């Protein structure tokens, strides 16, 4: 390459020579790849122009001088925006797009200006940036370098915003989809030059037909080995219904199956058969809780091997080649089977950051299973349903709403228009007669308190629990779990989110062992036991809560139908939940059960319950709709503000690494912490440490820091220092008083 030829990136080869990535080549390759990604959404022309102009500012002489300096030629900094002394390059192409195309050029301006820093708000953000002197200077200097005509003057196709999928309501999602195409193309082409060894690791994944055949073989073996029990026969029927419904045209489906009915594998059967029939590209299984995602991914991995990519905050890859492919696939979801969390999925759909948006174009022509869909946060329900409607109507997505307690997601109109809900126009139920299925799978009797306003104190409840050899009590808070557990005899087991994952796993394994052996087993738990933890107790006590929570607790009772009827006892706890969603759910349950004499888990009652729950909440509390509504005069959208305000979890939690294994005379956690202090957060190390993390609210963390019971070992990363802080039964005792000096004397 000629020394004067503009370059996009530079890296130091193993032979000690600098390799240079020609800028013109990079722009054309990104344009080509982005156009390819945008083809399924019929937007290749837009993506190609964005690719050609996204790094136009790199033609500036000052940028070329910069990248050729010793620091600029350093491979670790050659493609990182915002490093000290960096010369900007992402505004020139944005300004050129607006000058060449007028108002519609602002679509490209969003993409190009944000391809490193993320999508901006227009007003008070990108508009001011593009009107500034720096932007004009950047473009002028780039043009002075005389970029080649194939870059500067490509054929301008006829571009018409009237064909935006979903019209003005779909504009924001369409821009984010285009943004996804650009940033993924840019990352991939840059990686191919800067780290070709990583590009080689990107997998040639098996196709859907191959995976469907693997699944069919695995299910045949599973069904052949299953005992011929009434529950297993019904699970077989559910599987058959899912396979039959998969032949229906793409759209929105519901899978309404009682807890313990085999929804996970049946939903996968639907997804694969549907994908095979309608040429869908991948299956995305979305789970509400990180605590259960690993076990679901493991179920799929036993069938599909490493074609399954597990993507969530805890799933950083280990240091081996096979898992490296999974880590790379996490970046853009190009694997055929993705298992992820609701937080990762929905916050990506409303994101402004490049890393979050990068994967979005790979949701086109996919099958998405939303597991436990009733747990979608009511305060975000309207924007969530809005984006799902756009994806299913315009982007080829088939959606499965899977739950034992189906929420009311169809449109609703009320006398007060502010309460209206713009829901799905058509939802196709997979099970032909859910009411009949529930009647046949009814394995428990639910006993409600005679007075829903009369609480039961913990002492009385503990005495009642002791009448049963094996019993599970589910309460509404960590504090309630501790208070009740203290009143129970030694040997009573405890489960809450104040226990790290490794601790919870050991306790759950012990519970299953004892139940299988017929050993009396008493357990006190928070509601985390209702999230995919497959336990089977003869008796379950549940603190009064939302009706869906009561149903989930009932799913941990007589799960396999080995008893004629299990017993679920609902009690009113000594104090109500704090103001918020839990309190609102309790109120909705009160309203739904008012005057009910029959089965409180009747399907008709869930419709009434969710109507009350949603009617009494603002279904778009942060006004996401308002921020994403396009101002057609300026094509102005508040992308960044919407992304900042869309939070699936509204209370800020901080991770603390706890010394759990030290209690079990296992030094692993201390060795891992020592490695972390020495080498920093390596990916394989963080995955191992994830099993020892407990999340705490910010206020509790600050108190523990002040008491010197935890320390910040790396920025934003905390570790337990006081041995007393983690209890071998109860977990992190964050809300306990600090022991006095007399308690710490050996």
Choice between 110 and 687, residue whose per-residue pLDDT is larger: 110
In 3D space, the residue among 422, 407, 413, 414 whose CA is nearest the CA of residue 374 turns out to be: 407
In angstroms, the CA 722 to CA 705 distance is 11
Model pLDDT for residues 368-389, shown as the tens digit of each residue: 999 999 999 999 999 999 999 9
In angstroms, the CA 430 to CA 243 distance is 9
Tell me which residue has tokens 């993507």.
311
Model confidence at 527, in pLDDT bands (50, 70, 90)? very high
Cβ atoms 54, 30 nearer than 8 A: yes
The tally of CA atoms less than 13 A away on the side-chain side of residue 347 is 18
In 3D space, the residue among 511, 574, 504 whose CA is nearest the CA of residue 295 turns out to be: 504
For residue 717, the model assigns a pLDDT of 86
Phi-psi region of 623 (alpha: psi -120 to 50; beta: other; left: phi over 0): left
Rounded to the nearest angstrom, the gap between the alpha carbon of residue 702 and the centroid of all alpha carbons in its chain is 27
Share of the chain above pLDDT 90, in %: 69
In angstroms, the CA 597 to CA 610 distance is 19
Report the relative pairing of strands 471-474 and 566-571 from DSSP bridges. unpaired
Tokens encoding 313: 């905050």
Tokens encoding 711: 């320390």
Model confidence at 416, in pLDDT bands (50, 70, 90)? confident
Q: What is the DSSP letter of 166?
A: T
In angstroms, the CA 41 to CA 394 distance is 8
Say yes or no to pLDDT of 520 above 60. yes
Model confidence at 481, in pLDDT bands (50, 70, 90)? very high
Tokens encoding 155: 């054929």
Q: What is the mean pLDDT of residues 78-83?
A: 42
How many beta carbons lie within 10 A of that of residue 240, not counting itself? 12
Tokens encoding 141: 């200097």
In 3D space, the residue among 83, 138, 90, 94 whose CA is nearest the CA of residue 116 turns out to be: 90
Rounded to the nearest angstrom, the gap between the alpha carbon of residue 545 and the centroid of all alpha carbons in its chain is 25
Model confidence at 746, in pLDDT bands (50, 70, 90)? very low
Model confidence at 91, in pLDDT bands (50, 70, 90)? very high
Q: What is the mean pLDDT of residues 729-734?
A: 90
In angstroms, the CA 34 to CA 115 distance is 12
How many beta carbons lie within 10 A of that of residue 746, not counting itself? 2
Alpha carbon distances (Å) from 223 to 212, 256, 263, 535: 16, 21, 15, 21
Instruction: Give CA angle at 583 (577, 587), nearest 5°.
Output: 130
In 3D space, the residue among 537, 410, 414, 514 whose CA is nearest the CA of residue 468 turns out to be: 537
3-class DSSP assignment, residue 694: strand
Tell me which residue has tokens 């109109």.
413
> For the chain, how many residues are written?
746
Q: Which sign does the torsion angle of CA 621, 252, 278, 288 carry?
A: positive
Say yes or no to pLDDT of 460 above 90. yes
Q: What is the DSSP letter of 126?
A: I
Cβ atoms 672, 500 nearer than 8 A: no
Model confidence at 324, in pLDDT bands (50, 70, 90)? low
For residue 677, the model assigns a pLDDT of 86
In angstroms, the CA 339 to CA 330 distance is 10
Range picked from 96-100, 613-617, 653-657 for highest mean pLDDT: 96-100
Query: What's the predicted TM-score (pTM) here?
Result: 0.90
Beta bridge partners of 693: 657
Q: What is the mean pLDDT of residues 75-104?
A: 73
Q: What is the mean pLDDT of residues 115-126?
A: 94
Model confidence at 320, in pLDDT bands (50, 70, 90)? very low
Range with the lowest mean pLDDT among 44-48, 78-82, 120-124, 539-543?
78-82
Cβ atoms 89, 57 nearer than 8 A: yes
Dihedrals phi, psi of 9, to nearest 5 degrees: -145, 165
Burial pattern 486-523, b for ≥16 Cβ within 10 A else e, equals ebbeeebbbbbbbbbbbbbeebbeebeebbeeeeebbb
Instruction: Give CA angle at 408 (249, 415), nearest 5°.
Output: 120
Q: What is the mean pLDDT of residues 118-142?
A: 94
Model pLDDT for residues 206-245, shown as the tens digit of each residue: 999 999 999 999 999 999 998 888 889 999 999 999 999 9
In angstroms, the CA 376 to CA 345 distance is 12
At what angle are helices 23-38 and 44-53 packed, to 10 degrees? Answer: 160
For residue 49, the model assigns a pLDDT of 97
Q: What is the mean pLDDT of residues 121-143?
A: 93
Element (H, E) at 270: helix 263-278
Say yes or no to pLDDT of 696 above 60. yes
Choice between 641 and 89, residue whose per-residue pLDDT is larger: 641
In angstroms, the CA 637 to CA 614 distance is 27
Q: Which domains does the chain have, with CATH numbers?
A: 7-201 (1.10.3210), 208-437 (3.40.50.300), 443-598 (3.40.50.300), 653-744 (no CATH)
| CB-based burial label for 363 (10 Å; 0-12, 13-18, 19+) | buried
For residue 586, the model assigns a pLDDT of 95
Phi-psi region of 7 (alpha: psi -120 to 50; beta: other; left: phi over 0): beta
In 3D space, the residue among 58, 67, 47 whose CA is nearest the CA of residue 25 turns out to be: 58
**Cβ contacts of residue 579 below 8 Å, gap of 6+?**
none
Model confidence at 317, in pLDDT bands (50, 70, 90)? very low
In angstroms, the CA 645 to CA 626 distance is 12
Tokens encoding 525: 């738990």
Q: What is the mean pLDDT of residues 587-611?
A: 92
For residue 3, the model assigns a pLDDT of 55
At what angle are helices 547-554 and 581-593 packed, to 10 degrees? Answer: 80
Mean of the per-residue pLDDT values of the chain: 89
Tell me which residue has tokens 């929105």.
252
Both ends of the chain: CA-CA distance in Å? 72
For residue 87, the model assigns a pLDDT of 67
| CB-based burial label for 55 (10 Å; 0-12, 13-18, 19+) | buried
**Cβ contacts of residue 409 below 8 Å, gap of 6+?**
373, 385, 401, 423, 424, 427
Q: What is the mean pLDDT of residues 342-362?
A: 95
Share of the chain above pLDDT 70, in %: 92
Say yes or no to pLDDT of 661 above 90. no
């Amino acid at each position: 390459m000629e020394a004067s030829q503009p370059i996009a990136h530079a890296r130091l080869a193993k032979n000690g020579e600098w390799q240079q990535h020609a800028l013109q080549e990079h722009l054309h390759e990104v344009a080509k790849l982005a156009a390819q990604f945008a083809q399924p959404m019929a937007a290749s022309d837009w993506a190609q122009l964005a690719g050609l102009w996204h790094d136009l500012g790199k033609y500036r002489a000052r940028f070329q001088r910069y990248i050729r300096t010793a620091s600029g030629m350093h491979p670790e900094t050659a493609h990182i925006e915002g490093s000290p002394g960096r010369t900007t390059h992402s505004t020139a192409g944005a300004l050129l797009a607006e000058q060449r195309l007028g108002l519609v050029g602002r679509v490209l301006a969003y993409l190009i200006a944000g391809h490193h820093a993320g999508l901006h708000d227009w007003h008070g953000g990108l508009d001011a940036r593009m009107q500034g002197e720096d932007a004009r200077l950047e473009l002028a200097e780039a043009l002075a370098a005389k970029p080649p005509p194939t870059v500067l003057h490509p054929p301008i196709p006829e571009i018409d915003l009237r064909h935006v999928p979903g019209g003005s309501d779909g504009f924001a999602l369409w821009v984010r989809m285009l943004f996804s195409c650009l940033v993924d193309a840019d990352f991939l082409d840059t990686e191919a030059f800067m780290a070709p060894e990583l590009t080689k690791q990107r997998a040639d994944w098996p196709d859907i037909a191959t995976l469907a055949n693997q699944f069919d073989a695995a299910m045949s073996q599973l069904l052949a080995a299953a005992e011929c029990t009434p529950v297993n026969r019904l699970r077989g029927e559910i599987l058959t219904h899912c396979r039959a419904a998969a032949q229906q045209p793409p759209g929105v489906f519901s899978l309404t199956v009682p807890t313990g009915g085999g929804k996970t594998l049946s939903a996968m059967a639907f997804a694969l058969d549907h994908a095979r029939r309608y040429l869908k590209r991948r299956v995305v299984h979305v789970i509400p809780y990180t605590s259960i995602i690993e076990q679901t991914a493991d179920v799929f991995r036993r069938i599909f091997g490493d074609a399954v990519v597990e993507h969530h905050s805890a799933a950083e890859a280990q240091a081996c080649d096979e898992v490296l492919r999974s880590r790379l696939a996490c970046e853009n979801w190009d694997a055929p089977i993705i298992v992820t969390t609701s937080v990762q999925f929905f916050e990506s759909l409303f994101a402004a950051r490049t890393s979050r948006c990068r994967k979005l174009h790979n949701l086109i022509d996919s099958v998405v299973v939303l597991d436990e869909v009733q747990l979608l946060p009511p305060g975000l329900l309207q924007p969530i349903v809005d984006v799902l409607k756009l994806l299913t109507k315009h982007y080829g997505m088939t959606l499965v709403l899977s739950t034992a307690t189906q929420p009311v997601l169809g449109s609703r109109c009320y006398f007060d228009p502010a309460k209206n809900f713009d829901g799905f126009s058509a939802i196709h139920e997979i099970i032909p007669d859910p009411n009949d299925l529930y009647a046949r799978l009814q394995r428990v009797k639910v006993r409600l308190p005679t007075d829903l306003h009369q609480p039961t104190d913990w002492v009385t409840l503990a005495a009642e629990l002791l009448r049963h050899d094996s019993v599970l009590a589910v309460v509404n808070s960590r504090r309630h779990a501790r208070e009740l557990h203290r009143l129970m005899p030694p040997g009573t087991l405890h489960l809450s989110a104040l226990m790290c994952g490794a601790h919870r796993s050991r306790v759950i394994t012990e519970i299953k062992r004892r139940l299988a052996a017929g050993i009396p087993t008493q357990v006190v738990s928070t509601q985390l036991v209702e999230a995919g933890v497959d336990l089977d107790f003869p008796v379950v006590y549940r603190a009064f809560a939302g009706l869906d929570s009561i149903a989930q607790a009932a799913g941990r009772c007589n799960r396999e139908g080995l008893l004629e009827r299990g017993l679920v006892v609902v009690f009113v706890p000594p104090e109500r939940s704090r103001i918020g969603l839990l309190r609102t759910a309790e109120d909705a349950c009160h309203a739904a059960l008012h005057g009910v004499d029959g089965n409180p888990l009747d399907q008709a009652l869930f419709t009434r319950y969710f109507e009350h729950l949603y009617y009494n909440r603002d279904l778009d509390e942060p006004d996401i709709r308002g921020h994403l509504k396009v101002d057609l005069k300026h094509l102005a959208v508040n992308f960044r503000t919407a992304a900042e305000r869309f939070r699936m979890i509204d209370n800020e939690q901080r991770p603390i690494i706890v010394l759990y294994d030290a209690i079990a005379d296992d030094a692993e956690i201390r060795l891992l912490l020592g490695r972390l202090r020495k080498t920093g957060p390596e990916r394989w190390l963080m995955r191992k440490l994830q099993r020892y993390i407990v999340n705490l609210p910010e206020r509790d963390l600050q108190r523990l820091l002040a008491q010197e019971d935890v320390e910040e070992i790396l920025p934003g990363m905390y570790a337990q220092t006081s041995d007393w802080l983690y209890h071998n039964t109860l977990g992190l005792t964050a809300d306990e008083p600090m022991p006095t000096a007399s308690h710490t004397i050996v």
